[in-house]
Structure 1
Amino acid sequence: MGGIFADRVLTVPNALSVLRLLGVPLFLWLLLVERADGWVVVLLVASGITDFLDGKLARLLDQSSRLGALLDPLVDRLYLVTTLVGFVIRGLLPWWVAVLIIGRDALLGLTLGIYRRREMSPPEVIYLGKAATFALMSALPWLLAGQIDWVAAGFSRAFGGALLIWGVAVYVWTGALYAWRALAVARAIPPVPHHTR
């Protein structure tokens, strides 16, 4: 049954990913132009919930697709980068945190060439890396909620800061593990030669 849906475009999970994609410019406008922090928090939480749901629904409804496999991580990365840059512009986050996180992803993007040249699939996702991404995406709305005038502002700032520190540390650590794996593959397995006619 799964093979039938392999090339499907119009699926519930893909619709959720597109909805999240459309939320990116709205997020930037609310954060940087309107400074409507309450709505930004709502949007970030909604994005996190739909991100969780699209993977679950793809499996539950047997609606996995090639487009979904490309779209979901792309939207995840775009949301993360956009949020980090927006937070740095607003002065809510130190610039070096954004550089560490974006630099880690850029470095791992480069290592994919090692697997491609050997006609290998990229390595399995490290569960700890997923946990770090979740911590980072959770930290950002908490940090922003700490800027709003409400009873739990102090707790929000402290909790968001703790999640951010843990998330960044583990994100960088798992990035180093992925890079180490790629280097081990590069040393152990020669690239597949491509014969030209």
Structure 2
Amino acid sequence: MGSSDNPSSKILTVANAFTVMRMLLTCVFLVLFVMDVYRPLAIATYAIAACTDWADGQIARRTQTVSWFGKLLDPVCDRFLLFTGVLGLVIVGELPIWVAILVIARDCYLAVGAFIVRRYRERPVDVVYIGKITTALLMFGFCDLLLGLPVIDGLGICDVSWLPGLNSVGGPVGLLFVYAGCVMSVITAIVYTTEGAAIVRETIRRRSRA
């Protein structure tokens, strides 16, 4: 038995199997998409992989099989899913490269931060709700970009060449969700930084009193 507040040490659980399956499906997607074997199949594979992100969490909580392995592996697989979607779209020229740089740089920053926090507390920082919203926005946006529909005209809000969809250049509506996800990514990084810093300060304070 394992709950969110008291995870178990089990590895072989149904929820963890779904998480590992997400990683494998993501690899299959990238190969199919970049090689342009059959785009609908690549998109379907990515969508199924994205759905397992919801499924493994529900299964773990409802069956009381939340585990440390799952809590550590799940965010890694989420990031891997996002990275491959970003990478595939950048390779085929359908996504501004700055988005890839922002998403990857933000996650590398959080990974380093998590490593530092683990030196002060074994339990990782809990996933915040705004982080789930960020992931949902980016996944929906990337899935829509992969599909390429519906296409909208440029909104003409700005005259910046690297913001297709917001300038005069049209594109899939998923671009707008990706931009929203990028903004939320920055906010999420600030939230995690604040929580991590609080954990470090509290641990140092307790150790100084001991």
Normalising by structure 2, report the TM-score: 0.77
Q: Which runs of 4+ in 1 moved over 6 A?
A: none
Determine the structure 2 residue equivalent to 1:176.
190
> Secondary structure of 2:11's match?
coil
Q: Distance in 2 between matches of 1:15 and 1:96?
A: 34
Tell me: CA distance 1:66–1:144, structure 2 relative to 1, closer, same or farther (3 Å). Answer: same
Q: Distance in 2 between matches of 1:183 and 1:69?
A: 21
Identical aligned pairs, as a percentage?
A: 34
Determine the structure 1 residue equivalent to 2:166.
none
Any gaps of 5 or more consecutive residues in structure 1? 147-151
Tell me: CA distance 1:126–1:143, structure 2 relative to 1, closer, same or farther (3 Å). Answer: same
Tell me: CA distance 1:72–1:176, structure 2 relative to 1, closer, same or farther (3 Å). Answer: same
Q: Root-mean-square deviation (CA), in Å?
A: 2.5
| TM-fit CA distance, 1:121 | 3.7
Higher helix share: 1
Determine the structure 2 residue equivalent to 1:58.
60
Instruction: Write the deviation string for residues 67-116 of structure 1: whole angstroms up to 9, x where unpaired.
Output: 22222222111111122112111111111101101111111111124423
Any gaps of 5 or more consecutive residues in structure 2? 153-170
What amino acid is aligned across from residue 86 of structure 1 in structure 2?
G
Q: How does 1:79-94 map to 2 (within 5 A)?
A: 79-94=81-96
Q: Distance in 2 between matches of 1:79 and 1:65?
A: 21
What amino acid is aligned across from residue 2 of structure 1 in structure 2?
G
> Secondary structure of 1:2's match?
coil
Determine the structure 2 residue equivalent to 1:149.
none
Q: Distance in 2 between matches of 1:13 and 1:187?
A: 34
Task: Figure out how many residues of one structure are paired with residues of the other and give that number.
Answer: 186
Instruction: Write the deviation string for residues 159-179 of structure 1: whole angstroms up to 9, x where unpaired.
Output: 201111111111112112322
Tell me: CA distance 1:153–1:34, structure 2 relative to 1, closer, same or farther (3 Å). Answer: same
Within the alignment, does 1:136 sit opposite 2:138 as a pair? yes
| TM-fit CA distance, 1:187 | 5.8
Higher-RCO chain (CA-CA 8 Å, sequence separation at least 6): 1
Q: Distance in 2 between matches of 1:16 and 1:7?
A: 17
> Secondary structure of 1:85's match?
helix
